[in-house]
Amino acid sequence: MAALDSAPDALLAQRAADGDEVAFAVIMRRHGPYLKAFATRLLRSNSDADDVVQEAFIQAWRRLPDLQDPAALRAWLTTMVSRKTTDRIRSRKQSDPLEDIEIPDLAGDPEDHALGSDKMRALARVLDTLPRDQRQIWLLREVAGHSYTEIAERLDMPVPTIRGRLARARAHVLDGMSEWR
């Protein structure tokens, strides 16, 4: 239905809460790519990111009837994805303690070429060189907008650690982006 494709988030969320699967498919098409990009940057894995986004959407379908502010749909979905993602990060750490050691992640980004500007490519590279924890904290704060307390709970770290690592991540990004500012 063409009209639904351009319908506002709030309306789609209400319809989906009422059981309209077509509206929910529009929501997935509209927000899926962003959530996937977010999860991919957090997890550095395409297939894990797919899984997480999928799980998050299934949970979103169940919880939509409780969504208080349907206009804030993207923020709400982002929170779902970051919960699912951090669950995965925690279970990775438990199953493989080596994951806890901060090793630089995958070098280069497969989607680099698709990014619009040199500035965005530079930022993508800078984020890629952040230690894992710092990158995750950065994304949870700057993209998902979570509080220090939420991030601390999700990543199982004390609040002062979050605060310190976020500041270090910011120093690193400011440094790496100095010629663009």
- Tell the smallest beta-carbon distance from residue 139 to other proteins (Å): 7
- Tell the smallest beta-carbon distance from residue 175 to other proteins (Å): 5
- Tell the smallest beta-carbon distance from residue 63 to other proteins (Å): 11
d(C-alpha 146, C-alpha 165), whole Å: 15
Write out the residues near other proteins by the rule CB under 8 A. Answer: 1, 3-4, 6-8, 10-11, 14-15, 17-21, 24-25, 28-29, 32-34, 36-38, 41, 50, 53-54, 57-58, 61-62, 65, 111, 114-116, 119-120, 123-124, 127, 138-139, 141-143, 147-148, 163-164, 166-167, 170-171, 173-175, 177-179, 181
Whichever of 37 and 72 has its CB closer to other proteins, that residue is 37
Whichever of 10 and 93 has its CB closer to other proteins, that residue is 10
List phi, psi (to 5°) of 26: -65, -40
Whichever of 4 and 99 has its CB closer to other proteins, that residue is 4
- Tell the smallest beta-carbon distance from residue 141 to other proteins (Å): 7
- Tell the smallest beta-carbon distance from residue 73 to other proteins (Å): 13
d(C-alpha 84, C-alpha 136), whole Å: 13
Q: Do residues 127 and 138 lie in contact, with contact meaning Cβ atoms separated by under 8 Å? A: yes
Q: Do residues 147 and 137 lie in contact, with contact meaning Cβ atoms separated by under 8 Å? A: no
Whichever of 93 and 125 has its CB closer to other proteins, that residue is 125
